[in-house]
Chain A
Amino acid sequence: MALKKRKVQAVGPPRNSLGGRLRREWHHNKQVYIILLPVVAYFIIFHYIPMLGVQIAFRDYSIAGGIWGSKWVGLKHFKNYFHSYYFGRLIKNTVLLSVFNILLSFPAPIILALLINEVRNAKFKRIVQTVTYLPHFISIVIVCALLRDFFSSTGLINQLLGTNIDFFNKEEWFRPLYILSGIWQEVGWGSIVYLSAITSIDNSLYEAAEADGANRFDKLIHVTLPGIATTISVMFILRVGRVMTVGADKVLLMYNESIYTTADIISTFVYRQGLLNRDYSYTAAVDLVNSLVNCVILVGANKISKKISGSGLW
Chain B
Amino acid sequence: MRKNKIKTFDVINTIILCALMLICVYPFIYVIFASFSEPWELTMHRGLLLRPLGFTLEGYKAVFANRQIWSGYFTTLFNLVVGTTINIFLTLLAAYGISRKDLMLRKPLTIMIVFTMFFNSGIIPRFLVVQKLGLFDTRMAMILPTAINVFNLVIMRTAIEGIPSELEEAALLDGANHFTILFKIITPLIKSTLAVLVLYYGVTHWNQWYQALMYVQSRELYPLQLVLREILIGSSTEAMTSGAVDSLGDSFMLGEVIKYATIIVATVPILTIYPMLQKHFVKGVMVGAVKG
A residues near B, CB below 8 A? 1, 3-4, 6-7, 9, 21-22, 25, 28-29, 31-33, 35-36, 38-40, 42-43, 45-54, 56, 66-67, 112, 115-116, 118-120, 124, 127-128, 130-135, 137-142, 144-146, 148-150, 156, 159-160, 184, 187-189, 192-193, 196-197, 215-217, 231, 234, 247-249, 252-253, 267, 270-271, 274-275, 280, 283-284, 287-288, 290-292, 294-295, 298-299, 302, 305, 309, 311-314
Whether the pair B270, A137 counts as a contact (CB closer than 8 A) is yes
Bound-state CA distance A208–B186 (Å) is 44
Whether the pair A38, B90 counts as a contact (CB closer than 8 A) is yes
A contact residues around B178 at 8 Å (CB): 31-32, 35
Whether the pair A133, B292 counts as a contact (CB closer than 8 A) is no
Q: Which of B267-287 contact A (CB under 8 A)?
A: 267, 270-271, 274-275, 278, 281-282, 285-286
Whether the pair A288, B263 counts as a contact (CB closer than 8 A) is no
Known: A32-B103, A131-B24, A142-B267. A3 touches B110 (CB 8 A): yes
| B31, B118, B147, B229 interface centre (most CB from chain A within 10 Å) | B118
Whether the pair B17, A115 counts as a contact (CB closer than 8 A) is yes
Bound-state CA distance A48–B112 (Å) is 9
- Cβ contact of B285, chosen from A38, A141, A193, A280, cutoff 8 A: A193
Chain A's nearest CB lies how many Å from the CB of B34? 9
Bound-state CA distance A132–B20 (Å) is 8
Q: Which of B128-185 contact A (CB under 8 A)?
A: 128-129, 132-133, 144-148, 154, 177-179, 182
Chain B's nearest CB lies how many Å from the CB of A26? 9
A–B Cβ pairs within 8 angstroms, 22 of them: A3-B106, A6-B101, A32-B178, A36-B93, A42-B148, A45-B129, A66-B128, A67-B129, A119-B13, A119-B17, A124-B14, A127-B21, A128-B20, A133-B281, A139-B206, A156-B30, A156-B47, A196-B286, A234-B292, A280-B128, A295-B119, A309-B292
The answer to whether the Cβ of B122 comes within 8 Å of any Cβ in the partner chain is yes
Whether the pair A4, B116 counts as a contact (CB closer than 8 A) is no
Chain B's nearest CB lies how many Å from the CB of A16? 13
3 closest cross-chain pairs (CB), A and B: A311-B292, A53-B125, A287-B122
B contact residues around A188 at 8 Å (CB): 24
- Cβ contact of A7, chosen from B102, B229, B263, cutoff 8 A: B102
Interface residue count on the B side (C-beta < 8 Å): 93
A contact residues around B263 at 8 Å (CB): 142, 145-146
B residues near A, CB below 8 A? 2, 6, 9-10, 13-14, 16-17, 20-21, 23-25, 27, 30-31, 46-48, 90, 93-94, 96-98, 100-107, 109-110, 112-114, 116-129, 132-133, 144-148, 154, 177-179, 182, 203, 206-207, 209-210, 213-214, 225-226, 228-229, 232-233, 259, 263, 266-267, 270-271, 274-275, 278, 281-282, 285-286, 289, 291-292
Whether the pair B125, A56 counts as a contact (CB closer than 8 A) is yes
**Residue of chain B at shortest CB distance from A192:** B285
**Residue of chain B at shortest CB distance from A314:** B114
Q: Is the interface of B mostly helix, strand, loop or mixed?
A: helix
Chain A's nearest CB lies how many Å from the CB of B274? 5
- Cβ contact of A116, chosen from B17, B120, B148, cutoff 8 A: B17
Bound-state CA distance A267–B48 (Å) is 37
Excluding A131-B25, A139-B207, A291-B121, 12 further A-B contacts by CB distance (< 8 Å) are: A33-B97, A38-B90, A39-B93, A50-B120, A50-B122, A116-B17, A118-B9, A137-B270, A252-B213, A287-B124, A291-B120, A311-B291
Bound-state CA distance A38–B29 (Å) is 46
- Cβ contact of A56, chosen from B96, B124, B182, cutoff 8 A: B124
Bound-state CA distance A264–B94 (Å) is 38
Bound-state CA distance A186–B17 (Å) is 15
Whether the pair B125, A42 counts as a contact (CB closer than 8 A) is no
Known: A35-B178, A192-B282, A311-B291. A47 touches B116 (CB 8 A): yes
Bound-state CA distance A116–B14 (Å) is 9
Whether the pair A29, B118 counts as a contact (CB closer than 8 A) is no
Chain B's nearest CB lies how many Å from the CB of A277? 12
Whether the pair B233, A270 counts as a contact (CB closer than 8 A) is no
Known: A31-B178, A51-B125, A118-B9. A312 touches B292 (CB 8 A): yes
Bound-state CA distance A39–B105 (Å) is 14
Whether the pair A132, B124 counts as a contact (CB closer than 8 A) is no
B contact residues around A140 at 8 Å (CB): 207, 209
- Cβ contact of A134, chosen from B24, B179, B203, cutoff 8 A: B24
Bound-state CA distance A159–B47 (Å) is 5
- Cβ contact of A50, chosen from B107, B109, B126, cutoff 8 A: B126
Whether the pair B119, A42 counts as a contact (CB closer than 8 A) is no
Known: A38-B93, A275-B127. A141 touches B278 (CB 8 A): no
Whether the pair B203, A137 counts as a contact (CB closer than 8 A) is yes
B contact residues around A274 at 8 Å (CB): 123-124, 127
Whether the pair B16, A115 counts as a contact (CB closer than 8 A) is yes
Bound-state CA distance A53–B259 (Å) is 42
B contact residues around A159 at 8 Å (CB): 46-47
- Cβ contact of A298, chosen from B118, B154, B282, cutoff 8 A: B118
Bound-state CA distance A144–B270 (Å) is 17
Bound-state CA distance A43–B206 (Å) is 23
